[in-house]
Amino acid sequence: MDYSHRKACARIQLLGADGQVAANRVLHIDQTAHRFLFGCGAFDAVALNAVPDEKIRATLEARMQKWCRLFNYGTLPFYWGRYEPEEGHPAFEPTMAGAKWLQARGVRVKGHPLCWHTVCAPWLMKYTNAEILDKQLKRIEREVSAFRGVVDLWDVINEVVIMPVFDKYDNAVTRICREYGRFELVRRVFETAKQFNPSSTLLINDFNTSPAYEILIEGLLDKGVPIDVIGIQSHQHQGYWGKEKLYEVLERFSRFGLPIHFTENTLISGDLMPAHIVDLNDWQVSSWPSTPEGEERQAREVSEMYSILFAHPLVEAVTTWDFIDGCWLGAPSGLLRKDGSEKPAYRALEGLIHGEWETHQTLMSDAQGYVCFEGFKGDYRLSMDGRAADFRLLGNVNTQLTLL
């Protein structure tokens, strides 16, 4: 794998607190944060800040501790039907508390999603389509304004390819998508999100990776819709895509030159869901256990997939969907087992994120106090004899640092 585009070179002249060059000194260079977004669903961060039961909170806290050991990027739920189950009463406080809890731990937060036909608010159904669209845009204005500075990444709209033809149940968003068309609806929701948070990073997101999604994106960009990132779901309950499909999808969606986020990644550690199931939600099982062989397979697949994605120049984020087993569809889709113990996939990911892909070096400065090194892009701490200096390595740098 070629990860050179993830790295940069630093040439740093070290100065002591006295302003003198620190020549011929041993120092430690430690990466403290990644530029790449290693993400995971972080719904527990909201629960943690909302659940009164001490015992449950302790469990969630222990779990989120393991979460924070791996990840620097969390997805928080903004499903309209759950975020605002009753019109005018949004779950602002617990969601904001969860977001701030993550932010305080150096985690960037993404809101998911602002517009989607699934888990849509049922109370919208009594309104006309014009009123629904108005409320949809007002909701976007409200959320991106209220969370600005805390949540600056948004899955603005989810699963547009299927949106107007979604026929599992009648819902308000399918109605407006049908009435106004995909292109106009997407334009309105993106422009509203950008208007009320101009510095936000806005994603379109879909599970459909066919040419239909490509052409949708092409037409939206042609229309001038401010899409910042292409979001690709990859729920692989029916089996790992494999290298070939992964490269093929990456190639097709690279054409636009936009950053790509793998927004919802699932690789399971149990029996695979049968291939004939079209809508994953149709697979209802009473129990779906994690197995030892499944866990080994999951670890292998997670390693391979993350390595391929990390090597791709346009990929800027990969988000594992479920942190723990038994969440969506009851699947063994987590990096932790139901009892909270770490699976091989957790350790494999830890070995990549905080091992292979993280820079830690011990160097000696030269006679002029210079050190040179190449490291993975991100934040760094240089330390020497109890003194330290922090700096950010996003591109090649040539600078002076004073160790205090």
**What is the nearest approach in angstroms of a second copy to the Cβ of residue 82?**
28
User: Based on CB atoms, which residue is closest to a second copy, 183 or 328?
Assistant: 183
CB 187 within 8 A of CB 223: yes
| Size of the chain in residues | 404
Q: Which of 123, 183, 370, 373 binds a second copy (CB under 8 A)?
A: 183
| Count of residues interacting with a second copy (CB under 8 A) | 19
- Name the minimum Å distance from CB 227 to a second copy: 14
Q: Is 21 in the site for a second copy (CB under 8 A)?
A: no
| Interface with a second copy (CB under 8 A), residue from 141, 152, 179, 184 | 184
**Pair of tokens at residue 400:** 């002076």
Residues numbered 41-100 forming contacts with a second copy, rule: CB under 8 A: none
Among 15, 50, 161, 363, binds a second copy (CB under 8 A): 161
CB atoms within 10 A of CB 381: 14
Q: Which of 5, 11, 168, 223 binds a second copy (CB under 8 A)?
A: 223
Site for a second copy contains 211 (CB under 8 A) = yes
How far apart CA 113 and CA 236 sit, in angstroms, is: 20
Q: Using DSSP bridges, classify how beta strands 108-112 and 378-384 pair: parallel, antiparallel or unpaired.
A: unpaired
Say if CB 365 and CB 11 are below 8 A apart.
Answer: no
> Are 155 and 203 a contacting pair, CB within 8 Å?
yes
Q: Does 181 bind a second copy (CB under 8 A)?
A: yes
Cβ of residue 142: shortest distance to a second copy, in angstroms?
Answer: 27
Half-sphere exposure of 49 (CA within 13 A, CB side): 17
Residue 191 contacts a second copy per CB under 8 A: no
- Contact criterion met (CB below 8 Å) for 218 and 312: no
Site for a second copy in 249-288 (CB under 8 A): 252
Candidates 127, 95, 101; CA nearest to 114 is 95
| Contacting positions for a second copy (CB under 8 A) | 161, 165, 181-184, 208, 210-212, 214-216, 218-220, 222-223, 252
